[in-house]
Structure 1
Amino acid sequence: MKIAILSSHTSSLFWFRMDMMKEFVKHGHIVIALGPETEFGWKNKFEENGIQYKQFFVERNGINPFNDLKTYRELCRFMKEEKPDKVFAYQAKTVIYGSLAAKANGIVENYLLIAGLGSIFRGNGLKNKIIKNVMKVEYYAACKASKKVFFQNNDDKKEFINNRLIEEDKITIINGSGVNLDKFKPAPLPEIPAFLFIGRLIKDKGVMEYLEACQRIKAEFPNVRCLLVGPYDSNPSALQQEDLEPFINHGIVEYFGEQNDVRPYIKQCSTYVLPSYHEGTPKTVLEAMAIGRSIITSDAPGCRETVIDGYNGFLVTVKDIDDLVIKMKNLILDSSMNKLMAERSLKLAREKYDVNLVNKSIMETMKLL
């Protein structure tokens, strides 16, 4: 079968969905990945994995209706020309306009992935409320046009059900995007405690809370390392370079920018920290678990799915820097507890988050096996 995979972020397609797409190809299906970045930079990378890549226009963070109409028209043209048998879309704009474009062209095998609800859906304020109400209508139409909808956590699932955006029999829960256990293998813990945050440098990821907590930790434990990996972003809540520079210049964090391979950085840490406000299921947490690291993350949608509090790490209250600092100090002062939690993380990664198990669930739902 010919399967189209739609995303509003090309690098997300390549790094987060590659295992899934390769599994589709392995079973004899034709896969076309659609993203907004130029074919010149990405086409060969996808083709090396047996996947076609095509560029389309989408303004990931914008609210201009004319740009969104352009996205819809381009996706309609693609559906008409390529006639895919099945469509798999994730991220808000491709979920909405991809499913509607598919339906307009008579394609009924539409599968959506709600990989976390963003700041607009969970935020406050009048402008936010207006946009959220518009998105509810759009999500309702997208779900109506779909055959099945995958959710990565129960909080997002309940949000859709409570807002009457979806029929419950269309829902399939999966354990995040999974983690490739052949690629992310356990590694020894470092002798000196070290913390690591990986993610886009936007406030909703909890990066400011992480930086503030690191500042307090370094004041009390100057030998402890605090690492930061991730790109600046176009999101309205993104940090600017001047926001980060004081923490770098004062030796509070070691900043490594955006990295294609995060494994060397995870191996340098003893605990992975993600104080995000909301996620689908954070892939970086799963990768850290597979390498054998304790986790500190938020008691928030998506994040709380990955940690059994006190078992393989700690859950902290959203935006609570004091709570975050306490949990970081606990793991600095008790290395044996940290080691035990790290071992339990690895166990959970193997039993629950193996990418092969997740991909099997997706393929069974899409009837691709």
Structure 2
Amino acid sequence: MELKPKLLRITTVPISLNVLLKGQLSYIRSNGFDVVASSAQGPEIIEIIEREGVPHYVIPLTRKITPFQDIWCLWKLILFIRRERFTIVHSHTPKAGLIGMLAAWFCRVPHRLHTVAGMPLMETRGFKRKLLKWVELITYRSATRVYPNSFRLRDFIVREIYASREKLHVIGRGSSNGIDLTYFQVTTEVEKNGIKLLETYGIKKDHLIITFIGRIVADKGINELIEAFEQVNEGTEKKTKLLLVGPYEDDLNPISSKAKTFIEEHPDIISVGFQSDIRPYLYISDIFAFPSYREGFPNVVLQACAMGVPCVASDINGCNEIILNERTGLLIPTKSVAELVAALKRLISDEDFRKRLAEEARSYVRANFDQQYVWKEIIKEYKKHVNV
């Protein structure tokens, strides 16, 4: 009996495996690969094992700069790779990419693949930027193939970090996992749960809901969003609510104390924390706002578009490959409160325009980023390297 090629998929924290790559590991396993997942410890691991049907190996990676911990993780991963004899090691996220690619290179794994999905160095300066750039460069040089998850991100890498295009390849039309169009649609259950949310939070029919979904951190443009909402909330006749869905990360990239206080005290801002099912929140939304500073290929913008919510997003990598300005949504410069206010007011005041953008966006996402298409392209890429 011919042995299946062994594949290790590694991310820094398990939530990336559980959310960003949801369903993908099971699909790859069903296409002839022996798949193992790896990340730091976390409550999501049990769900990953049960849903994807793959084993999980804990490597105590951190998202911070922790050199002694990183060396220990590198040694532990080298021993694991040597023992398991993987054919492919495929990493995601910066720390897992550095440790995973170095360990795979040291063990002479024949196929060392790394996916790039947004980089912290885009918003850093000085010594820290140089350090992060050096980390990316080591990762790319240790890999045999590098997958930016958008074309604009590929161009940024070539321009700022790694001049050679030979290793760089965008899978399909971009996105690390595509979007499950059978899941992100309005169903009776989603509608029912959405109505419950309106009742729970006392949101009336005449309220217009602006929603953000993601980590509540500075780099996601939350400070600007709060300031913009304050102006919109006071400066338009339409009653508005701001719905924030996602966790705070005060230890890594906190928002300003002023913005946090405003969120906690303003009667028209609702912050609900992390939610495993965001569909009811998108269902009740009238506008999706995503003023992030940097992205790779933002899944949540795909999800909003698939659910028929008109979007205003930053004109940055990834976002501007989903949102075609004036056609599938509105694009604004990063860190511009004035532009964000203008875009929100325009969408608030013109319901027909919102509907047209939503319809165009839904059609565009369905045509270009269906999850089954993305998964098939990943399998094609793997099969270029190994015989299955």
For normalisation by structure 1, the TM-score amounts to 0.91
* Contact kept in structure 2, 1:215 and 1:252, CA below 8 Å: no
* Contact kept in structure 2, 1:298 and 1:315, CA below 8 Å: yes
Encode CA deviations 1:50-76: one digit per residue, 9 max, x unaligned: 121121111212x23212212211211
Runs of at least 5 residues in structure 1 that lack an aligned partner in the other structure? none
Which residues in structure 2 correspond to 1:246-325 (within 5 Å)?
A: 246-325=262-341
CA distance in 2, matches of 1:152, 1:289: 18
Encode CA deviations 1:230-274: one digit per residue, 9 max, x unaligned: 001155322378742432322131111111111111111011110
- Structure 1 stretch displaced more, 345-354 or 143-152: 143-152
Q: 1:357 aligns with which of 356, 373, 377?
A: 373
CA distance in 2, matches of 1:297, 1:352: 19
Match of 2:8 in 1: 4
The reply to whether residue 48 of structure 1 matches residue 61 of structure 2 is no
281 and 45 in structure 1: CA distance in 2 versus 1, 3 angstrom threshold:
closer
Match of 1:215 in 2: 230
Match of 2:175 in 1: 176
CA distance in 1, matches of 2:144, 2:218: 34
Deviation at 1:166, TM superposition (A): 5.5
- Structure 1 stretch displaced more, 150-159 or 257-266: 150-159
CA distance in 1, matches of 2:250, 2:221: 16
Q: How many residues align?
A: 362
Other structure's SS at 2:115 match: strand
Q: 2:101 aligns with which of 99, 102, 123?
A: 99
CA distance in 1, matches of 2:314, 2:46: 37
Match of 2:197 in 1: none
Percent pairwise identity: 25
Which residues in structure 2 correspond to 1:229-244 (within 5 Å)?
A: 229-233=245-249, 235-239=251-255, 243-244=259-260
Moved segments of 4+, more than 6 Å: 187-191
Deviation at 1:133, TM superposition (A): 2.6
Deviation at 1:100, TM superposition (A): 0.9
CA distance in 1, matches of 2:256, 2:232: 23
179 and 139 in structure 1: CA distance in 2 versus 1, 3 angstrom threshold:
same
- Structure 1 stretch displaced more, 327-336 or 66-75: 66-75
Runs of at least 5 residues in structure 2 that lack an aligned partner in the other structure? 195-204
- Structure 1 stretch displaced more, 330-339 or 69-78: 69-78
* Contact kept in structure 2, 1:149 and 1:170, CA below 8 Å: yes
Encode CA deviations 1:183-218: one digit per residue, 9 max, x unaligned: 101579987432110111110011111111111121
The reply to whether residue 26 of structure 1 matches residue 26 of structure 2 is no
258 and 241 in structure 1: CA distance in 2 versus 1, 3 angstrom threshold:
farther
CA distance in 2, matches of 1:241, 1:355: 39
CA distance in 1, matches of 2:137, 2:354: 44
Other structure's SS at 1:340 match: helix
Match of 1:89 in 2: 91
* Contact kept in structure 1, 2:293 and 2:314, CA below 8 Å: yes
* Contact kept in structure 2, 1:186 and 1:290, CA below 8 Å: no
331 and 305 in structure 1: CA distance in 2 versus 1, 3 angstrom threshold:
same
- Kindly provide the amino acid, as one letter, of the partner of residue 141 in structure 1: I
Match of 2:124 in 1: 123
CA distance in 2, matches of 1:180, 1:79: 32
44 and 12 in structure 1: CA distance in 2 versus 1, 3 angstrom threshold:
closer
Deviation at 1:45, TM superposition (A): 4.0
For normalisation by structure 2, the TM-score amounts to 0.87
Encode CA deviations 1:268-322: one digit per residue, 9 max, x unaligned: 1011110000100111000111111111000122222211111111101111111
* Contact kept in structure 1, 2:240 and 2:268, CA below 8 Å: no
CA distance in 2, matches of 1:193, 1:342: 16
CA distance in 2, matches of 1:345, 1:164: 32
Deviation at 1:180, TM superposition (A): 0.6
